[in-house]
Amino acid sequence: MAPNNHVSPDHDAALHQEQQPLLSSAAQQNGQNGTDDARGRRASQGGGPGDRERGTFTPSLGTVEAFAIVVAIVIGSGVFTSPGAIDTNVPSPGVALIVWLVGGVLAWTGASTMAELGTAIPGEGGVQPYLKYIYGDVFGFLAAWTWVVAVMPATLAILSIVFIETIYSALGVTGEGDKIVHKLLSILVLAAVGLANSISTKASTRLNNFFVVTKFTAIAALVLAGIVVVILQVSDPYRDVGGRDWFTHSWFKYRDSLNPDGSTTDWDSVSEWELFGHLSAALYSALWAYSGWDKAIYISAELSAPARQLPLALNTAIPTIILCFITANAAYYILLPWDVLSTTDSVAVTAITRLLGPAVGLAAAIVICLVVAGSLLGNSFVAGRMAVAAANMKWLPRFLSFVGHVGLQPSARASDDRFAPAAADSADASGLPESDAPINALILSTILSALYILLGSFRVLLTFNGLGEYSFFFLTVLGAVVLRYREPTLDRPYRPFIGVPIIFALVSGFVVVRGAAFSPAPALVLVALWVLGLAFYFVRRWFQRRGMVNGV
């Protein structure tokens, strides 16, 4: 009997929708759902879902690549450096693990909201097209400006600093972060990662997949070490192995915390308001460790079936990362005495060195350096695409949208008025593969990141980065709530419960207010960059209206 090959019209429509590029026309994306008034409003705000017909990059990535990019970016330095900062601000290890869980769930709510917007509103560049669609062109530009000149360069600078700091810590050298040699080595690492991403998209994703395997291997080794210590301790209660505190003390009972400056926090004497302050600081550190959860949306235009692949990638990557972070931190509390964990910024290296000796500790430092390098690679990959998206929207100079070559003019392969997407597998006349990497944008990102390394420090950049990101996360998720009521008929292939964006809007607003209150200097620098950006925007628009920036 022949199989029934008939496919229903509804199935055909669903398949077409999930494979539809997020840069397709409004009619293709939304059918007849939108009203004339909604279309007019979108036009007055600077364009709707269909204001561009194609993007710079070929939609050739799949769910696995999107999953790998999120994992590669999120599992970076945070899980190996933040545990000490979190432990200092919580009264017990059990509370620390709860903070890691809450931070992960909150990151998941943000990722789910971004997936809703990413499958409903087309465009390259992460939050840029969403803010433009919801609030207008100025907000979209300001998000692009902030990410290109502040958030992504600061992120790359932080990771480069952590890379060198990990090597220094493994060699027993501390307190060198402000030395010029340390900064120059950080810039060297940064440049090497930018060069790697300049080869091609395929080369970047293949290298990224290698780093993902490295990250899972490192965390699996930590968890396995913790399991071995548990088995040895339970089999012989008097054996001196690991930290032993996990075996002899309650995980949720208050204990005095030893701070990095040598002082001690007596949690029984801490007021409820002070406890809230400590817990908010711990949550702030956890959210930093989870930062990068939004990065899959930055390559949504390169997914072959974004409506299906984007939610699937995020809803598998984030729970996987939460599990990795909680189990790794449980292992730290098993491998180390609890008064040691709060005083070190290199928790994993300290734990392995204490358990297996300096030689293995050095090997652990090398693995962690590879983990950080993977996060650097993923963030650099995304940073270039943010600049390309902004240039395609004519917010930044046009040469930043060129791929495959360096220069202020399109290459000979460009067609029409725009630079045509380059196929990663194609070859030029010399027989060498053509690059589809945004080299100009990567160079800009590397230069800005180098300046941040030279002028800033780890902690200042951390706060600066968080303020920049979460200011626009707040606007974006708030916009998602607004759209639920303003455009209820907007086609949303993925639609989480309305409480999800509301929760993350409250959290992101709290992060911004707290960061600005406790660190006013980075907040003022960020505001100054916004003012400079707005001046750039309006001056550029003035020249554009007079036809004086054509092709630039």
Say whether 470 sits in a helix, a strand or coil. helix
pLDDT given at position 52: 38
d(CA 448, CA 335): 39
- Give the chain's domains with CATH numbers: 63-545 (1.20.1740.10)
Residue with tokens 């071995």: 228
- The amino acid sitting at 493 is P
pLDDT given at position 550: 54
Instruction: Record the tokens describing residue 118, joined without a space.
Output: 């990413």
Residues of the chain with pLDDT under 70: 1-60, 122-125, 170, 172, 174-175, 201, 260-261, 298-301, 345, 410-435, 548-552
Report yes or no on whether pTM surpasses 0.95: no
Q: State how beta strands 264-265 and 257-258 pair.
A: antiparallel
pLDDT given at position 551: 52
pLDDT given at position 472: 92
Q: Where are the alpha helices (DSSP H) in 121-200?
A: 127-135, 137-146, 152-170, 180-197
**45-48-49 Cα angle (round to 5):** 155
Q: Where are the alpha helices (DSSP H) in 89-124?
A: 93-120
Per the DSSP assignment, residues forming a β-bridge with 427 are 433
Per the DSSP assignment, residues forming a β-bridge with 257 are 265
pLDDT given at position 49: 45
pLDDT given at position 479: 92
d(CA 396, CA 392): 8
